[in-house]
Every structure is written in structure tokens, then in C-alpha cells.
Amino acid sequence: MNPIFAIWSLGQGGFPASFNFTASEPFNVLGGGPSAEFGGSALTVVSSSVFGREGNGVVQFNGTFTTIRFTTPVFENYYAFTVGEDATLTGGGGAVPEPGTLLLLGLGFSSLPFARRALLLGRA
């Protein structure tokens, strides 16, 4: 539901590239900007396509998806992207159990001196 599509280095400094999505996959650009390493410009949206010249950004699709289809009509040597879900935006995700785990680990470590003492007393 409402997947996030994070894009890094779309296009080259002087040459734009694009991800062309289908019209049935509505999306919003949540943020982004040019790559500081190579210059460029922010992501831009035209119809159902995202363009960039060394652009970085985050796109959120609206709705529930099992697949996201896109084409890249202009050859580009390199770009990176990842797809996932932002639980803070979708209301998903549960409680993170780390505090309880750390508490149990701490109790275990704090009992080591008593266990050692019991072993030493048992040998005497």
C-alpha cells in the first residue's frame, strides 16, 4: 500500500533520463534534488514520467500495488533505485522489540558475577 520508490542518480549532468510509469500508477514526488557529486537538477514530473539530470528523489505511489512497471527509453550507464513501504506514511508497522531485548540482555550480563561466584563456591 502506497509504496515508496527512492531514486538516486537518474540521468547524467547534461543528459536527462526518465522512468516512464503507466497512467494507472498515480504518484507524487515527495522530495529530492540534484546530486552534489556530479551537478544536475532536481527530479521533474511530466505526465506519468519522472525525469532527472543527476536527480535524486523519493516517489510515492498512491494505492495498493503488487507490481510497478516502468520503462527507461533513454540508455543510461548507471542509476539506482529501491522500492519499499514507509510504515510512518501507511500506518503500518508494529512496535519495535529492541528495548525488551536489551533489557533481557542486560539482566543476563548482570547475573554473570553471581553465576561465577556460585561456581567458585561450589569448587571450594
**Which grid coordinates belong to 31?**
522530495
Mean pLDDT of 5-17: 83
pTM of the model: 0.61
Q: Using alpha carbons only, give the angle 31, 35, 40 rounded to the nearest 5 degrees.
A: 100
pLDDT at 53 over 80: yes
pLDDT in tens, 58-117: 888 888 888 888 888 888 888 888 888 867 665 655 555 566 777 777 777 787 777 776
Grid cell, residue 27, equals 504518484
23 burial (CB, 10 Å; 0-12 / 13-18 / 19+) is: exposed
- Can you read off the three cell numbers belonging to residue 18? 526518465
Query: In whole angstroms, what is the distance from residue 38 CA to residue 85 CA?
Result: 29
pLDDT band (50, 70, 90) for residue 123: low
